[in-house]
Amino acid sequence: MQITAFQTPRPEFLMKDLYTFDATTEQALQTYQTVRETYNAFFSEFKIPFLTAKASSGEIGGNLSHEYHFLSKKGDDNLVCCSSCDYVANEEVAESRITRVHRHPKSADEEGFTPQGMESSSWKQWNPESQADDKENQWLGISQDRSTLVYASLPQEVEIRAVAGKRYRKAEINPYAMKRVFPELDLGVEDPLAVFNAERILGTTKDKNRKEARVLRVVDMRYYLQQPPPVCPNPPPTLIEGVEFLVQDWCAEADKVVDLVRIDTGDLCPNCDDGSLKVESAVELGHTFHLGTRYSAPLEATIDADLSQKDRQREVSNIPGQSVTVQMGCHGIGVSRLIAAVADSLADSKGLNWPRVMAPFETIIIPTKGSESETANVYDLLTTNKGQRSQEPIDAILDDRKRDFGWKIKDADMIGYPIIVILGRDWKREGKCEVQCRRLNIKVLVSADDLKAFVAGLLQHL
C-alpha cells in the first residue's frame, strides 16, 4: 500500500509489486520479456481492449520500460498510436516522422544575428511575440532557480497526413522534450521573461552570490535538416541595463538534436510509411521496468555466479573475484486503480457490468412469482456436472430474497452480473429461460437442456 506518513497523507493506492534479480543482462532481459508476456495475458483476461506502450522510466530509472493502459476519456495519460502498424508510446517518449521546414533561423553572418533573430542593438527591447520570424515559432521557459532563461525555436507549422493529401498544422512546444533537454526547467511559470528580468534586477542589489545569468537557446531538429544548418550565434549584449549574462546554445551535435514539437493526431508515424498517429486518452494500470544496476551497484548487491568469461566481461562488478552485480527489474499493477478502471470502462446507465474474471458471480438466477419452487433445479443444473461431464460448473447465485421481481432485476443490473437468467412466463409455458447479457446485447429464450452450454458459451466472450 502506497500511503505516506500521517504528516503528508495520500489516497490509498493498492499495488501488486514484483522485483526480479538476475546474474546477467541477457537473463534480465529474458525475465523482463517473460513478465511482459504475463502482464499481457493478465490484462487480456478482462476482454477489454488495452494497449502496451513504450514509456519513460522517470525517476525510477533504467532505460527500458512499458506501460499497460485501458483507453478512457477520463484517463490522465496520453498515448500515441499508429493507424497502420503496432507503434504505441506514451507521449513523454513518443516520436513522429520529421519533415523539413522551408526556412531556418538566420545564420550568424546575417546582420548581427542574435538568438532572437534581431540586431544586437535591439536586444534590450527584444519582444519574442512581436519580433518572431514568419516561419519561426518561439517559446520561453525559466529554470527553477531563475538563473536561466530557456529560449526555444521551432517551426510555425509541421506536416500531417490527411485524406486529401499533405496538410500542415500549427506546431506547439513539447514540454517533455524541453524537460529532457533541461531537467531544471520550471514549467509552471506563466511569464518566464518577466520573472527572469525581475530576478536579474534583484540580483544586482540584494544577492551577490546569485548564479550568473544565462540564456539557453534550443533549436528544433527540423532546422538542422536544412543545408547549410544554422550557425550558433555570437553572445548578444545585455538584456537588462547593467546586467551581463551568457548565451549558450544547444547546438546541432549528433547526440543533442531534439524534436521540440508536441505530437498531435495526424502526424506521420516514425515506424511505417503509411500510418498516421492518433493521440488517445488512457488510464495506466501497470508498469514494467528493467533497472539494470541502477540500485544494485550503489548498494553493492552482488552474487556469486558461475558465468562464462564472455558473460563476466559484460557485467558490472563492484567486488573483485567471482561476484557480479545483480541485474534488477521492478514491475507493478495498480490493483485498486484496475478495479476502478474496469468499472468505468464497462458501466452503462443501468449500472456496473463486470467481466467474468472480476464479477462476484458469473450468473444470477431470478424467478418470477409462481416459479420460485423450480429455481433450485435450474441452479443445480448450472452449478453441477449432472449428466454434463464435459462442461465446467458455472459460478451462479440464486436470488431468493423476499422482494418483487422488478426490484431484483434493477438490483442485478446495478451490481453488474455478466449474465441474468430469468424464470418467467415462458418458463411456465414452454420450460424456457430468458437469458440476458447487457454487455453482448443479448436477450433470448433458451430451453433447460441447452441452458448450461449456452451460458458457458457467452461467458467465453466476457
Angle in degrees, 0-180, between the axes of helices 375-383 and 448-459, rounded to the nearest 10: 50
Task: Specify the pLDDT at position 110.
Answer: 33
Element (H, E) at 446: strand 442-447
Q: Is the pLDDT of residue 1 over 90?
A: no
The pTM score is 0.78
Q: How many CB atoms lie within 10 A of CB 374?
A: 15
**Over the stretch 306-351, which tens digit does the pLDDT of each residue have?**
766 555 555 555 445 568 899 999 999 999 999 999 999 999 999 9
- Mean pLDDT in the chain? 81
Task: Specify the pLDDT at position 157.
Answer: 82
Amino acid at 108: A
Q: Is the pLDDT of residue 183 over 80?
A: yes
Mean pLDDT of 183-193: 90
**Over the stretch 107-149, which tens digit does the pLDDT of each residue have?**
333 332 233 332 333 233 333 333 344 456 788 899 998 888 8
> To which CATH superfamily is domain 15-94+273-340 assigned?
Bira Bifunctional Protein; Domain 2 (3.30.930.10)
Task: Specify the pLDDT at position 121.
Answer: 30
Task: Specify the pLDDT at position 358.
Answer: 96
> Rounded to 5 degrees, what angle do the CA atoms 226, 227, 231 make?
90
* CA separation for the pair 462, 455 (Å, rounded): 11
33-37, 248-252, 366-370, 413-417: least confident range: 248-252
Task: Give the pLDDT band (50/70/90) at residue 198.
Answer: confident
* CA separation for the pair 340, 358 (Å, rounded): 12
For a pLDDT cut of 70, what percent of the chain falls above it? 74
Task: Specify the pLDDT at position 403.
Answer: 94
Where are the chain's structural domains?
15-94+273-340, 120-250, 351-459
For a pLDDT cut of 90, what percent of the chain falls above it? 50
Task: Specify the pLDDT at position 169.
Answer: 83
Task: Specify the pLDDT at position 386.
Answer: 65
**Phi-psi sector, 123: left (phi>0), alpha (psi -120 to 50), beta:** alpha
Q: Is the pLDDT of residue 77 over 90?
A: yes
Task: Specify the pLDDT at position 360.
Answer: 96
Mean pLDDT of 40-63: 93
* CA separation for the pair 374, 451 (Å, rounded): 15
Q: Is the pLDDT of residue 282 over 70?
A: yes
Calculate the CA 356 to chain-centre distance: 26
- In the Cβ-directed half-sphere of 330, how many Cα atoms lie within 13 Å? 13
Look up the CATH number of domain 351-459: 3.40.50.800
Calculate the CA 388 to chain-centre distance: 46
Torsion angle of the four alpha carbons 247, 252, 257, 259, in this order, in degrees rounded to the nearest 10: 70
Task: Give the pLDDT band (50/70/90) at residue 202.
Answer: low
Residue with the three cell numbers 433470448: 444
Per-residue exposure over 427-450, b if at least 16 CB sit within 10 Å of its own CB, e if not? beeeebbbbbbbbeeeeeebebee
DSSP string computed for 355-390: -TTTSS-SEEEEEPTT-GGGHHHHHHHHHS-TT-TT
* CA separation for the pair 62, 136 (Å, rounded): 35
Task: Give the pLDDT band (50/70/90) at residue 233.
Answer: very low
Cell of residue 49, nine digits: 481492449
97-101, 307-311, 437-441: least confident range: 307-311
Rg (CA), the chain: 31
Q: Answer for the pair 455, 363: CB distance below 8 angstroms, yes or no.
A: yes
Mean pLDDT of 163-174: 78
Q: Answer for the pair 16, 333: CB distance below 8 angstroms, yes or no.
A: yes
